[in-house]
Amino acid sequence: MTDTIFVKGLSIHARHGVMDHETEVGQRFVIDLELHTDLSEPSRSDRLADTVSYADVVATTTAAFKNTNYKLLERAAGAVADAILSNFPRIRAVKITVHKPHAPIAAIFDDVGVMLTRARHP
Catalytic status, residue 100: yes
Give the ranges where the chain is alpha helix by DSSP (H): 20-24, 40-45, 54-66, 73-87
Going by C-alpha positions, the residue among 14, 115, 16, 106 that lies closest to residue 66 is 14
- Catalytic-role residue among 8, 66, 95, 100: 100
Give residues with Cβ within 8 angstroms of 56, minimum separation 6.
Answer: 87, 88
- Identity of the residue numbered 17: G
81-to-2, 43, 69, 75, 121 alpha-carbon distances in Å: 18, 25, 16, 10, 13
Active site residues: 100
